Amino acid sequence: MVSIMKVLCTDASLRYWRWPLHTLFASCLALALIACGGDDSAQDTNTAATTSDTTGPVVLEMGPLIGSGAPSTGDAAIKEFTQSVQDRVAPHVIVLPAQVEPKSAQLAASDPNQPLQIGFGRDVAEAANPAATASLLTWAKSADGRRRAAISVRSPGAAGLRLGLLVEQLPPFGVELRVYAPGDEKTIEIAGAEVLRTIQSNLDTGATGEDAHIYWLPIISGAEAVLEIELAVNINPSMIKLSLPHVSQLAIDPTSAGSEVVQKGLVSGVPSPLSCNVDAMCAEAKYDSLRRATAVMIATVSNGFYGYTTHMCSGVLLTNWQQDATPYFLTANHCIPNPVSASAVETYWNYTSTKCNSNLAVNSPP
């Protein structure tokens, strides 16, 4: 079985395709097709959002983005830029206890028919609901009236972290989310409208509950990931209901240049027990275009009792008979079990073996 994802990307996310290292499919509305083969009166410090009683089951509902006010898919939904560390607000830091990844997340995969697990889920009790999360946010007001607050999660020993943002209420305009590593000026910014668009895509497939309302933020290298929230002058902190109940802790970091993956059959250019697989580096000129169309794919999925796990697979871009540049992405069915999982995919490009039949793949700029 294979999965074909038709990814409805914004112009901004398409530009990521031409960047070295990775594409943020989290910026897109992805559908998995299975085939064979306010007011300014709020306090600026520790402003808590209003929330309902959390003693009973939480019912998550969100209306569709409709009408002329709905954001256009051409909006710059995700962008990457450099942000001075001095310009950032101090985050509230949540430190998780050190934990070694479970055996199933170790790099040696025992079942070649299953995706390689590189991350495991961890619960964040301090930010488990909107009220708790709001109490951790210290809002700083800038000269132009905008408010910013930040929260970070640190897990000693992690090669990377992916924050799971649970959205219960979010204005469609005037909210920007940024993620980065402390001390690293590289910043990824996601428009609040894009978060809503992705969640609405999940709901449109019939998905319900927590899984449908979690937006998995881009993977951040290292043991700490920061989420910064910026609100426009007309947005009061009480208008948002967000929490960070889960993170995925990675055992390997696919985002860094020079990241090495040793795994048979995982990426283009690495040999496989399957006789139909060809190491592109053994005939680089002949297979160059195919090699550049192949990507490492990271998916964070819900595994029921086991929580949220992050897997690594591979896939390839496909064209169609119209050759209209529709971005179809072909991967294995077991990598993307449902449309909600597809909406949280990231892809990383330019993985190749270091030399013909080396069994070692390296991520490097084209």
Q: Which residues, listed in sequence order, are joined to residue 23 by a DSSP beta bridge? A: 347
- The domain total for the chain is 2
Q: Where among 189, 218, 250 does a domain terminate?
A: 250
Full DSSP string of 24-36: -GGGSEEEEEEE-
pLDDT value of position 113: 67
The answer for residues whose C-beta is within 8 angstroms of residue 246's C-beta and 6 or more apart is 121, 122, 123, 124, 164, 166, 214, 307, 308
What is the residue range of 281's domain?
Answer: 2-36+255-363
Name the residue with tokens 């410090």: 45
pLDDT for 150: 98
Q: Which of 189, 217, 250 is the last residue of a domain?
A: 250
Residue 44, in any domain of the structure: no
Express each pLDDT in 279-295 by its tens digit.
777 876 777 777 888 88
Token pair of 137, please? Answer: 């946010």
pLDDT higher than threshold 60 for residue 3: no
- The torsion angle over the Cα atoms of residues 188, 70, 142 and 87, rounded to 10 degrees, is 10
**Distance (Å, whole) CA 7 – CA 78:** 15
Instruction: Give 56: exposed, middle or buried? Use CB within 10 Å, 0-12, 13-18, 19+.
Output: exposed
State whether 96 and 226 are in the same domain. Answer: yes
Residues 127 and 224 in one domain: yes
Q: Which pLDDT score is estimated for 355? A: 78
pLDDT tens digits, residue range 195-234? 999 999 999 999 988 999 999 999 999 999 999 999 999 9
The SS3 assignment for 133 reads helix
For residues 209 and 291, membership in a common domain is answered with no
Specify if 68 maps to a domain.
no
Average pLDDT, rounded, for the chain: 74
Rounded Cα distance between 162 and 346, Å, is 11
161, 249 Cβ separation under 8 angstroms = yes
Whether the model clears a pTM of 0.95, i.e. scores above it, the answer is no
Q: Is 42 within the bounds of a domain? A: no
* Assigned token pair, 289: 């275009």
Q: Are 166 and 242 in contact (CB under 8 A)?
A: yes
The model's pLDDT over 32-55, given as tens digits with 9 standing for 90+, comes to 322 322 344 434 433 333 333 333
